[in-house]
Amino acid sequence: GHVLRNAVDHGLEAAEDRLARGKPAAGAVRVTVGRDGGHVTVRVADDGRGLDLAQLARKAGLEDDAPEQEIARCVFRSGLSTAGQVDLVSGRGVGMDAVARMMTGLGGAADVELGPIDEATGRRAFTLRLSMLDPSFEQRATA
């Protein structure tokens, strides 16, 4: 739930902003689910604004030359938020941290897969990858 709310609240721009950038007025969030060995993997991506890695590095207190993947993973840090203001959905820096902890508790992990840079904004497209142990795989292994 939180990952989808986050994609809509943080990722998707207002219709007029999207139109000004040559995008369709309506944004899209794509969720794919698959099995990989003994894990179920869920990937969530949107066609929104992307990650501002420079801003994220500053908020996380990282050096400018930190690896991009290290910076991107900061979205899972407790207390860190990229929201401009606090509201009912965003801004407290607890949601994505909770998602990462839940995935770890399920024997999996949460990660960020970086995509291309939007040359107009300098932001990076990305996909959240959530994996957890496949309960049906565990049942087959113990049967």
Domain 2-142 has CATH 3.30.565.10: yes
pLDDT tops 60 at residue 142: no
For residues 37-59, average pLDDT: 90
Tell me what pLDDT residue 108 has: 92
Q: Which pLDDT value is given to residue 123?
A: 92
Strand partners, 117: 124
pLDDT at position 13 over 90: no
List the chain domain ranges.
2-142
Helix (H, G, I), strand (E, B), or coil: what is residue 25? coil
**Which pLDDT score is estimated for 62?**
94
Q: What is the pLDDT of residues 72-126, one digit of tens each?
A: 999 999 888 775 555 555 554 557 888 899 899 988 999 999 999 988 888 999 9
Chain centroid, CA 102 distance in Å: 14
User: Is the pTM for the entire model greater than 0.75?
Assistant: yes
pLDDT the model gives residue 143: 47
Q: b or e along 35-68 (b: 16 or more beta carbons within 10 Å of the residue's beta carbon)? A: eeebbbbbebbbbbbbbbbeebbebeeeeeeeee
Average pLDDT over residues 3-30: 84
More confident residue, 137 or 33: 33
- pLDDT at residue 94, rounded to an integer: 55
What is the pLDDT of the chain when averaged over all its residues? 83
Query: Could you give the maximum distance between any two Cα atoms of the chain, in Å?
Result: 57
